[in-house]
């Protein structure tokens, strides 16, 4: 369908209904996104309460720097939070994070996994190498590492890894 115009035919106007639809489309998409976001997660978007958790990882009695520590909640199917995790500093110490840096972890019983992936030089680049800890420590089912997070600040005993612990 063509509309009468005093302009040349190379510049056609869109039908008014198409203009209204295209202007309404961004508003409709924005409303749909808000509804989807509001419906995601449990508790209307609220996070599980977290409590500060600090600990240390030792390898043969010495601090293990750069280890990735991950806590896996036990016996609570359908948890709505990601696994709390941390990286150890030069003294092997860590502070868990669940939603934000060092915010802690929800209360509960956890199995713990630990990996240590050193950066290796490959040509002129640094690339992640393989985990240099025994594989059993990476799997929370075989690591033998357990922790309990209470509704209070938590200072855990060191996780002792090493030849004597295998």
pLDDT tens-place string over residues 7-26: 554 444 544 444 444 444 44
Mean pLDDT of 111-128: 95
pLDDT category, 160, cuts 50, 70, 90? Answer: very high
Widest pairwise Cα distance in the chain = 91
Residue bearing tokens 């060092």: 102
Show the tokens assigned to 163.
């030849």
Question: What are the pLDDT digits (tens) for 93-110?
Answer: 999 999 999 999 999 999
Q: How many residues does the structure list for the chain?
A: 166
For 94, the token pair is 């860590």
Question: ∠ CA(54), CA(60), CA(61), 5° rounding?
Answer: 50
Alpha-carbon distance of 96 to 6, in angstroms, equals 70
Which H or E run includes 94? strand 93-95
C-alpha distance from residue 149 to each of 57, 113, 141, 161 (Å):
17, 15, 18, 20
Give me the residue spans of the domains in the chain.
53-165
**Under CATH, which number does the domain 53-165 receive?**
2.60.40
The model's pTM: 0.70
């Amino acid at each position: 369908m063509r509309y009468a115009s005093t302009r040349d035919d190379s510049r056609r106007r869109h039908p008014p209904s198409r203009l209204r639809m295209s202007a309404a489309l961004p508003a409709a998409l924005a409303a749909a996104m808000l509804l989807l976001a509001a419906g995601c997660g449990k508790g209307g978007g609220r996070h599980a309460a977290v409590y500060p958790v600090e600990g240390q990882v030792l390898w043969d009695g010495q601090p293990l720097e750069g280890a990735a520590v991950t806590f896996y909640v036990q016996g609570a199917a359908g948890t709505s939070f990601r696994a709390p995790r941390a990286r150890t500093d030069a003294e092997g110490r860590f502070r868990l994070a669940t939603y934000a840096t060092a915010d802690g972890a929800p209360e509960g019983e956890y199995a713990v996994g630990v990996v240590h992936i050193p950066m290796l030089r490959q040509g002129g680049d640094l690339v992640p190498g393989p985990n240099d800890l025994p594989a059993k420590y990476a799997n929370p089912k075989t690591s033998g590492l357990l922790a309990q997070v209470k509704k209070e600040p938590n200072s855990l005993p060191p996780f002792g890894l090493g030849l004597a612990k295998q």
